[in-house]
Chains A and B, each alone.
Chain A
Amino acid sequence: MSELQRVDGNALGGVLSEVFAADLTTATTTCAGCRGVAPLAVLHVYLDAPGAVARCPQCGTVQLRLVRSETCAWLDLTGIRVLQINP
């Protein structure tokens, strides 16, 4: 069942390091859907898709999507109302 393949935001650390200078595994997000605040590390992450998808653990809203080709990256953070980058 695909739900068991789900991981969490810890697994995004590597691929997000290609796009952000900061370590986002210690970041906190405010969900644009439910306004829930959670560490990025506990988002429900699906890596098997044609891209990476991170969903709010409370409401399922897609907070983050990332697609990488050899040369480009496309990033959608519209599901994150506030991204707090922590030390």
Chain B
Amino acid sequence: MNTLLPWAFLLTLPGLVLTAFGAGRRPGLASVLGPWLVFAAGFAWLLGDHAPAVVRIEGWLPLLPDAAFALRLDALSATMLCVVGGVSGCVYLYSLSYMRGDPGQRRFFAYLDFFVLAMNLLVLAGNLAVLVAGWASVGLASFLLISFWRDKEGTLGAGLQALAANAIGDAALLLAAVLVPAGAGDLTTLHEATHLQGVAGGAGTVALLIVVAAAAKSAQGPLYFWLPSAMAGPTPVSALIHAATMVAAGVYLLCRTHALLALAPDVLTVVAWTGVLTAVFAAFASLQQPNYKRGLAYSTLSQLGYMFAAVGFGAPFAAFFHLFTHAAFKALLFLVAGVVIHAADGEEDLARLSGLRKQLPGPAWLGLIGSLALIGLPVVTAGAFSKDLVLEAGIEHAPPLGYLLLGSVLLTGLYTGRLWFAVFLRADSQLHTHAPDRLLQGPLVPLALGAVGLGWLGTALGTVLAPALGPAPAVHAVSGLGLVAGGLGLGGFLLAGAWVRARGSGARLPTLSLPWVDAAASCANRAATGVARVHSGRLGGYLFTAMVGVAVILIVMRIRP
């Protein structure tokens, strides 16, 4: 059994094939079972004796230092499997209703299956080569899903933005895979000194490359730009990929290689600063967004910043625990947004979505649960447990950053409150909405339960993950810091309520845009057009360029020995 379980990443492949070839009464029905099987696989391992299950096929991949196909199912990957399987299971059921009537449904579920397969491969990867394969496949799946609606303007552009950021991350990870010498590709033993001797710059280089890759995948620092644009995809996609799982892969990688990162304290400082600054700036940016989903996207960025910061503080368990709880409540919030948008026929502007409390009571209260979890209300929501751990780690290791994070909890409350109150404060909407059906609201319930209850699993999780992440700090239900943070968050939440009541649901900060992404893109486009113009269609031009090129080459080669 132990050698079979790591192959769990293939569990969505039958669904992919069946859906692609049109099996099942409804498109996508054949795929629904896959994620739950994945969840079962992870859960089964967790119930077992916790011995890491390793699959290793030597000599599979030629010419790399570590040429084996290695899978590894241990505590960290099993927990991630449960997260991925659980959230995607809910999202699949949700999508059966959300995407009904869309002509591309089969394609949608096939893409989702591919994504889950790739994400599981990433999670189950035992060495860098397989990790890179999973990493880049996840990026491909994200691109395909963001640009899913072919008739809408701008989806392809958003997808290409995601691909561009993903490319940077892929490049970094590829280089890391190439650099690490033979036998050292195994992810859990990367930090052993013997392996890093041959690498220029030692642990620092590899650590930096891994951090760059993680930052690209989790949209941290300057590589944030693709996540808000990725909201152009369907909402189930935003919930699954851009909130709960794929963007968390960066954090997962950092947790997996935490021992290596511990060898490079400078890199850890960079990680901490990046995380904190992203958390703060993204919180401000969320307050500027007129679009519901974009507001949530910046919220995801901010929470990922918390996770990154936790890694930077040397507390990988805190980061992972926050990933765990965040998956539940952020997916819940996105799915609620999806219900609202679906009911309002695609309207995404907050100013027009106000007053839906009476028409959509279920989503309203489920959304409230999610929002309270996001701000971290102590005891009753899971978010508090994990966020407190992060804040504790911050205040202990790098007090200025820790207090900055604590202060930004107020901002978290503010933007969360704005998003909830804008839609659900009043009950007098003029919009004509269709009532959401059971399949659309049903999957929200397990997520809401998770948002409330997952925090209590913290201690158990810490024990299970101790071999992988080191000894875990104690998880408190109530602590002084937790109460302060909860108070700040709740204060911000209520302040937002007052703000929305005063200014209406369109209340937001004025927009401040950073043009550097557009500048970079237009630079690249100009370079591309320039290159294409050299191929001018004139033979004389070709001959000239060729001959001059040859002459230059000869001269250069003669000058160097």
The yes or no verdict on A and B being binding partners is no
Please report B residues at the A interface, Cβ cutoff 8 Å: none
Please report A residues at the B interface, Cβ cutoff 8 Å: none
